[in-house]
Structure 1
Amino acid sequence: MLFLTYVISSDCDNNIRNGGALVAATDCNMACTGNTNELCGAGNRLNVFWSGKTPPPPPTTVAQVGNWKTLGCYSDGVNGGRTLQHGMAMASPTTIEECTSACFQAGYRYAGTEFAGECYCDTTITNGGAPTPLSDCNMPCAGNSSQFCGGPNRLNVYNYTGTDLPPITAPGGGGGGGAGGNAVAPVNSGLPGTWKYAACYIDNAHGRIFEFEQTPNSQNTIQSCVTTCQSKNFTVAGTEFGNECYCGNRLVNGAATADESSCNMGCAGNATQACGGPNRLSVYSATPNVTSLPVPVPLNSSLPGEWTYAGCHTDINDRVLPWQIIWQTNNTVEACLNQCHAFGYTAAGLEYGQECYCGDKTDITEKGSVPAPESECNIQCPGDPLHLCGGGLRLQLYTWASEINVWHTPDNIGRYEFFAPGVVVPLIATLGINDKVTFLEKHGTSEFQNSTGAYEFDPSLAHNFSAAYREMHVKTDVFCAGSIILPDKAGRQINVGGWSLDSTYGVRLFTPDGAPGVNGTNDWEENYPLLKLQRGRWYPTAAMLPNGSILVVGGEIGSNDKPQPNLEILPKPQGGETVIELDWLARTDPNNLYPFITILPSGRVFIAYYNEARILDAATFDTFQTLPNMPAAVNNFDGGRTYPLAGSMMVFPQHAPYTDPLRVLVCGGSTPGPAHVLDNCVSIAPEAPNATWTLERMPSRRVMSLMVALPDGTFMILGGAKEGVAGFGLASDPNFNAVLYDPTLPVGQRFSILNNTIVPRMYHSEAILLNDGRILVSGSDPQTPGFPEEMRLEVYIPPYLNEGRTQPEFDLPNNDWAYGGSYTITNVKLHHGTTQTMRVSLVAAVSSTHGNSMGSRTIFPQFSCSGTTCTIQAPPNANVSPPAWWQLFILDGKTPSFSRWVRIGGDPGRLGEWPQLQGFTPPGM
């Protein structure tokens, strides 16, 4: 059988195991990465295919072989010793028949198979071995996959019921074909270099005394084992049970020497050489002395931070703590605790020696983990053999004393409301300076045959569907392009890039006109090839530079095609290209699409792409500084934040006098491969000394997150999914909850959990701020069974509008501001407070697509008031405030006014005179 799951992985088996059961076909709703027309399961869901052939039967417990009858499954190693003490070196892969035959010939009444390939014999059951559930013996025999041969520390035990047992012979002698009872001896000559025999050691009294096991070898000799260890730069070698070889640079777990006569099994490849015995190792060393470390113990003191030891706890197959990290050679308690804490988790557990798990304290009780005997956490840490790192399905559990994450649950959580029916699923949403919303969608590749690719929505007419939308037109396909609002006097919107061929070169311009309740007449202007990009781009980002030029960065040459790892400048000057190649974009494709860009107070350019970030010179675009990589998942540093891993970015509000370093915030994302969705945000002040990322846990996982800057300086985070990545059919489990992020609160206390929607908002959904302070939420185009094309428009009523307070009012005599100038607003009306408690904010014009709010920025300028007139000081320069149109709000306590549009910084690039080409109507200066 072939099993396809989670888009990018496949599994095979002959049987459906572990309780797998048939579910609704619609549960398997994620498209395959190699063919989006086919389905490849989903999170915890498999598309199962059958070859039509009858599969071989699953393994069973052999009930009887001749006079040998099963006693069931028994525990082994309970008190550090074997339940059956005499091991048999098998000449061929282990089966029940082979093991019982070997025990019969050696004269033993009891036979047991363990760990698929081991055979043990004895005259009685010893060392506390006792029956366990038959399901514990679950490993198929190495020599016959239809039989079970025990498991880890579990034996399938058989009892001989006949009366014709021969006399007991020397245990295990002959190892692999040699005659039983032959004398065996250590090897004292013919070894490489300085290697010499050390001693016979006891194994498994407190766990294995070697840290690195080699593959069992039916031709094992002392020379072959020593040579293997030497080739891997180890200095200690040991042979056990005839065919086993172990390597290391020390012995661990309280290794102690044994009576030399107990290392009495012949090597599988040379019956005259002593190759240990059952729980006995013949040890050789390249150095005069062998280091032996004591029995490991739990690390329960001198722990980092507020971590405390909670004891040995049970784990479950589905895992008590959800995030797994595997450090095969260097796992330690301290490393695990520090990693879990760095990513905001309050519970950490270590298991199987090399595994570290992170989660929350609530996971422990919710998943039913309970204390277990300390003796069951008995595996040393590979990076610290003096301490224990759990056991088989046993967690060495630690908890953090205080709460790391304070997620507020306020009484006032705002609400979603249905706003209006839609006409398409918009890919790009932009609030124009006429307070109407421009929607752009796929043109030519749309699911709606009569779509023109562009519409203008008037929120003031949302109640009147026939009047709310105005049909507009584009000539080429904007799927998936980038947009910003220009600082020219008309507030034109520019859209660049697209789906394929000519459309990827597209440069489209629209001049908003009309007013709320009054139809405009302008349409999109486009004339390829008279006006085009210098390189075709799918998924590019656009940004406004301080000098008034337009920066266009990245993308691919077409849909899921070769990278376009460069940037260019618009308008293109006469006589030459402006394209600059960027090796770091080439290196990180395809996980760097729609990179996040903002201008820093120094005038330099900050760019974040995949999981990297850097600062560029705004003139040469050379790298001025490479910043640390963004943290991602606690168990995968390869996680990323830009499409298709798809987080979102905002810029922290800037406050006059603008002396604090600018900080950026990036939330959500996913990981390549298994697509573990991220549950955190990271922020950095790129120009601060020794800039580092600060990580904060979100209340839930989120990929394809939508973020909106609000007039009170907070950020709304909504939409997205909890499983998968961005793209058609590549995500599931919608995130219906909205959260609010408040940058003014302490780190770890900035999130408030708000209300839920009933509408999944996944791939191709958008959210933007309206002029009345509400958030418009649109779209969802996952093309996944169970998640339809979503055309309903919603608004989110933030808490600041949910209390029914009257919004303040003001008049704006002048909406064209120069840097550093003083400008008045008049007729200020506050209904709940005074100008002493009033605030003024500027929210930059934004075009939103795929969670990338291009142009986003928030400023709280200096102001003063006298009566009902207030004077606002414009930001000082284009570095603090790149030339743009802004929504000007006043806030009466928490309550914002309706916004008024103001242009700050003019049009330094003289974009109002561009382009002087047929089919375009530039507004002039």
Structure 2
Amino acid sequence: MLVEWNTVTSAVCSYNTHRINVIDIGATLQPESDCNMPCSGNSSEICGAGDRLTYYTWGGSPLYVWEFPTGNDAGLYEFLIGGVVVPLLTTASTNGKVTFLEKYGIGPPNSTGAYKLDLTQINNFTAAWRTMHVKTDIFCSGSVILPDRVGRQINVGGWANDATCGVRLYWPDGSLGQPSTNDWEENVNELSLQAGRWYPSVMVMANGSLLVVDGEEGSNGAPVPSLKILPKVGPTIFCDYLDRTNPYNLYPFLAVLPSGGVLITYYNEARILDEVTLETTRTLSNIPGAGTAMLLPQYAPYTDPLTIIICGRSVPGPEVALDNCTIERMPSKRVETCMVALPDGTYLILNGGQQGRAGFGTSSDPNLNALLYDPSKPVNQRISVMANTIIARSAILLMDGRVLVSGSDPEDSCYPQDINNTDWAYGQTVPFTITSNSSGAIRVSLIGAVSSTHGNSMGQHTIFPAFSCSGNFCTVTAPPNAYVSPPGWFMVFVLDGPTPSFATWVRIGGDPANLGSWPDYPDFTVPGSGPVEVWKSPCDGLTC
């Protein structure tokens, strides 16, 4: 496994270098001979003298090139239905509906803390929105979709007291257009975390169990610098590196590595953990940034190094947001960045603020500018500046390929492909049929199930698997193992050129940790370990 932090460095010596507009500040250029003091760190270089500052100009090709699409190419925003909640955590469920979680018990409109939106009912406000319930405050908790047969959503941690130990489960039910009846299940006296956590991250490991990392003892409390496994296995594991970097490391980024082990990035540091002991096996060099992280696409045959991009953050102290990614610059600065993996392998970067940090009233100057990041283009030429959003909130990918920004909504559409097998084994070859005319530029992508909060897309994963077609009959080959693709749920898109189909949800890798039979308490309903339940699509019974 090779992990590299690609960063742009400067070939200047260790003195004050300023790019100065000499006209704006009234400065005048002086002879180079006036700069005659040797640098303290490198006596072979000159570091100015006599209150002189070295002024540099660049005469080569532009260091950064951003594209500015117009019209439809810049993106289109639609307001389709009013909302009932300002969501803190947003998740696309495996039945096509969207769940929202928000701070519990603060009064209307967010009095229950949990809501569900049926994306097919936009013309019927009452049918579109369903009020659900949690028992403790999920504010700044962590979520992920389980690899069990029904794709339950788990939410852990929370605001204070019992909420920080909370473990909440929701079994999505009801196809699109049909009512749902299930609600969140929670009983902190039966099922709880071993150590309460506010701002934790959670991830499905290669063995199918859950890794819960980091946090604090409630709002702005003492650090909880430890790791734990769900279902419970042994004690929590203390991490001095998390203790040392608190509070800048909250919601650390986690990823299973194709060669084995777990990558954790926290503040501006990173290391690889043994997947069994969770002890450090390798400490990586510091990251040139500490913002939102995303895995870039993996392509069959999965021999290239795993690439991770980290964009945006703010600096401690003045908390001014930065415009940096790990390998290039963005055209605007942002903190609490949202990055949404799109079916074609690009990423939508949006939302966040230009000043401050996460918390009540601690972030200001919202960044409404949306960017499209295309990793297939050369470095420093990958970003296009898209149409501005009107709100700066969480964003997730929907089954029709559009992005939901706190209350947008897709129209009904049909599958241009027919995938009936929704439970894939590693390496399995799965047939599907293209049921509409195509240009022949076909691709298949797998987008991991995501829960989005605070610029952290827990579960994000983009894979372009091997596939082949003969006419309209095609086959796709599932990823080879749990290190390339940890067990879990994915949206499968078939793309005709740049245009994605309506997605099909599939489970890859099964449920090796038998989470479908967990937890064994009377207050929790479990689906068992049988085959997946298949949700009906809006296209069932129609000719697409």
CA contact (8 A) 2:300 2:465 kept: yes
1:484 and 2:150 correspond: no
1:752 and 2:384 correspond: yes
Q: What is the aligned partner in structure 2 of residue 830 from structure 1?
A: 437
Partner residue of 1:708 out of 322, 325, 340: 340
CA positional deviation for 1:605: 0.3
Stretches of structure 1 lacking an aligned partner (at least 5 in a row): 1-340, 633-640, 642-646, 683-694, 779-792, 798-805
CA positional deviation for 1:373: 4.4
What does 1:82-231 align with in structure 2 at a 5 Å threshold?
A: none
Distance 1:377 1:468 in 2: 73
Q: What is the aligned partner in structure 1 of residue 203 from structure 2?
A: 543
- Per-residue CA distance 1:252-280 (angstroms, 9 max, x = gap): xxxxxxxxxxxxxxxxxxxxxxxxxxxxx
Q: Tell which structure's C-alpha radius of gyration is larger.
A: 1
Distance 1:714 1:370 in 2: 44
1:587 match: secondary structure: helix
Distance 2:127 2:10 in 1: 49
1:843 and 2:413 correspond: no
Distance 1:843 1:821 in 2: 18
CA positional deviation for 1:867: 2.3
Q: What is the aligned partner in structure 2 of residue 767 from structure 1?
A: 395
1:572 and 2:232 correspond: yes
Distance 1:477 1:381 in 2: 61
What does 1:25-104 align with in structure 2 at a 5 Å threshold?
A: none
Q: What is the aligned partner in structure 1 of residue 132 from structure 2?
A: 472
Instruction: Give aligned pairs, total.
Output: 517
Q: What is the aligned partner in structure 2 of residue 462 from structure 1?
A: 122
1:611 and 2:255 correspond: no
Distance 1:825 1:502 in 2: 48
CA contact (8 A) 1:604 1:616 kept: yes
Stretches of structure 2 lacking an aligned partner (at least 5 in a row): 1-6, 530-544
Aligned-partner residue type, residue 374 of structure 1: Q
Greater RCO, CA 8 A, separation 6+: 2
Q: What is the aligned partner in structure 2 of residue 777 from structure 1?
A: 405
Distance 2:350 2:323 in 1: 13
Q: Percent identity between the aligned chains?
A: 54
Q: What is the aligned partner in structure 2 of residue 650 from structure 1?
A: 294
- Per-residue CA distance 1:408-444 (angstroms, 9 max, x = gap): 2234111222232211211100000011100000003
CA 849–838 in structure 1, closer or farther in 2 if over 3 Å, else same: same
Q: What is the aligned partner in structure 1 of residue 515 from structure 2?
A: 911
CA positional deviation for 1:474: 0.2
Q: What is the aligned partner in structure 2 of residue 427 from structure 1?
A: 88
CA contact (8 A) 1:410 1:753 kept: yes
What does 1:596-675 align with in structure 2 at a 5 Å threshold?
A: 596-632=253-289, 641=290, 647-675=291-319
2:242 match: secondary structure: helix
Partner residue of 2:98 out of 437, 446, 449: 437
Distance 1:344 1:862 in 2: 40
Aligned-partner residue type, residue 671 of structure 1: V
CA contact (8 A) 1:377 1:389 kept: no
1:389 and 2:48 correspond: yes
Distance 2:471 2:162 in 1: 57
CA contact (8 A) 2:253 2:456 kept: yes
CA 381–743 in structure 1, closer or farther in 2 if over 3 Å, else same: farther
Q: What is the aligned partner in structure 2 of residue 402 from structure 1?
A: 61
CA 588–388 in structure 1, closer or farther in 2 if over 3 Å, else same: closer
CA 496–400 in structure 1, closer or farther in 2 if over 3 Å, else same: farther
CA contact (8 A) 2:400 2:410 kept: no
2:127 match: secondary structure: helix
Distance 2:249 2:47 in 1: 41
- Per-residue CA distance 1:610-657 (angstroms, 9 max, x = gap): 10001111000111111110113xxxxxxxx2xxxxx21110111111
Q: Scaled by the length of structure 2, what TM-score is found?
A: 0.90
Q: What is the aligned partner in structure 1 of residue 421 from structure 2?
A: 814
Distance 2:120 2:255 in 1: 32
CA 866–379 in structure 1, closer or farther in 2 if over 3 Å, else same: closer
CA positional deviation for 1:447: 5.6
CA positional deviation for 1:808: 6.5
Aligned-partner residue type, residue 399 of structure 1: W
Distance 2:317 2:252 in 1: 20
Aligned-partner residue type, residue 471 of structure 1: T
CA contact (8 A) 2:205 2:486 kept: yes
1:401 match: secondary structure: coil
Aligned-partner residue type, residue 178 of structure 2: V
CA positional deviation for 1:491: 0.4
Distance 2:409 2:60 in 1: 40
CA contact (8 A) 1:912 1:923 kept: yes
Distance 1:666 1:894 in 2: 25
Distance 2:266 2:59 in 1: 33
CA 668–390 in structure 1, closer or farther in 2 if over 3 Å, else same: farther
Q: What is the aligned partner in structure 2 of residue 556 from structure 1?
A: 216
2:339 match: secondary structure: strand
Aligned-partner residue type, residue 334 of structure 2: R
1:696 match: secondary structure: coil
- Per-residue CA distance 1:55-75 (angstroms, 9 max, x = gap): xxxxxxxxxxxxxxxxxxxxx
My pick for the range that moved more, 713-722 or 406-415, is 406-415
Distance 1:503 1:721 in 2: 28
Partner residue of 1:342 out of 8, 28, 50: 8
Distance 1:915 1:483 in 2: 17
Distance 2:10 2:102 in 1: 39
